[in-house]
Amino acid sequence: MRGTSCHHGFEEMAPLSSSVFLFFEMLLAVSASYSVSGLYGGVSYQPVEHHALRGQSFRDISGISAVQCSARCLSHHGCFSFNYDHINRVCQMNNVTRQQKCDYFQRMQSFTYYDATAKPRNCQNNTVSSNGESSTLSSTSVCCLVGRLGVEDGSIPDESLSASSNWFPEPGVGQQFSTPAGGRLNKIPTQEDIIGAWHPNVSDANQWIQVDLVNPTFVTGVLTQGRSDYPQWVTKYKVQYQPPSQESFADVQDHLGHTKEFIGNTNKLEIVDRRFFEPVLAIKLRIVPVEWNSNNIALRFELIGCE
């Protein structure tokens, strides 16, 4: 039945306990304590249960949670509200709000309508070059103050860094060894037996170094660097990320929806800045070397994203 007025009173709004509906759904989905307003810098959603804004969706996405739907809406400059079908797990991103299209705001039993009380400020437009390709972080980017996320300065602790393997010599050989913490951008080893980069035990396409971000974080790019004490570096790599409430990793993609292979370094010291076509919401992020300049992989890095 179609709503009769734009001025739906509190009796049609979700009760106060339901105003944190999305918060509790997030808790159930990802086993992490964070709220929508805390995650998105002051942006909160007001749910209206058993309602939807009909016919105003510019994009429907199946098989994602309401949490993921909110992230998609926030990261798109044209999304101002969304409907979520709880039975079929369908996210409907709307280009208007119920205040603008009152006549289309209707009661629908299996839906909840979410209206953002504020939109995040857009990241600055930054044109960057990646393998000769120009890309722009435009208003489709979310939040925020874009900056380094803390791999370099230690804000991300050592225990949040892990790797597929680390170079370690056989007992008694006395050679240098590697740790994931050695992969921090601009890291210079303080001991002679520590390699000046992350260096896996085997150099093949199955190796990776990973950051556990703990809380869902928008990541927009990667800074890479070679080994500080030897001419070794990664020339091409992929980036994978684990979204909230999912166990599997997904590849960062290009503008065509294909797995993006980023061009890396050409020497050991220069910092190379590569930005994603779209930000990704991640709780973990991996860098996967694809090609390297010598027989051995060596990498130092930092993540760029929303602080």
Biggest CA–CA distance in the chain, Å, is: 81
Tokens of 295: 């027989």
How do residues 111-155 score in pLDDT, each as one tens digit?
Answer: 999 876 544 434 443 333 334 443 333 333 344 456 899 999 999
pLDDT at 172: 56
How do residues 183-207 score in pLDDT, each as one tens digit?
Answer: 999 999 888 778 999 999 999 999 9
Residue 178 near residue 167, CB atoms below 8 Å: yes
Look up the CATH architecture of domain 16-116. 3-Layer(bba) Sandwich (3.50)
pLDDT at 274: 94
What CATH class is the domain 126-306? mainly beta
Identical fold for domains 16-116 and 126-306, yes or no, is: no
Task: Provide the residue ranges of all domains of the chain, joining segments of one domain with +.
Answer: 16-116, 126-306
How do residues 220-237 score in pLDDT, each as one tens digit?
Answer: 899 999 999 899 999 999
Give residue 65's pLDDT band: very low, low, confident or very high (50, 70, 90): confident
User: Which pTM value belongs to this model?
Assistant: 0.58
Q: How far is CA 273 from CA 32, 166, 301, in A?
A: 31, 25, 10
Range with top average pLDDT, 20-34, 62-76, 100-114:
100-114
Q: What mean pLDDT is predicted for residues 175-188?
A: 92
Instruction: Report the range of poorest mean pLDDT among 23-32, 114-123, 246-255, 266-275.
Output: 23-32
Mean pLDDT over all residues of the chain?
78
pLDDT at 145: 52
User: In the chain, what percentage of residues exceed pLDDT 70?
Assistant: 72
Between 121 and 68, the more confident residue is 68
Q: pLDDT at residue 2 above 70?
A: no
pLDDT at 147: 85
Give residue 32's pLDDT band: very low, low, confident or very high (50, 70, 90): very low
Give the phi and the psi of residue 17 in degrees, each rounded to 5.
-65, -30
Range with top average pLDDT, 10-19, 40-49, 125-134, 261-270:
261-270
Q: pLDDT at residue 34 above 50?
A: no
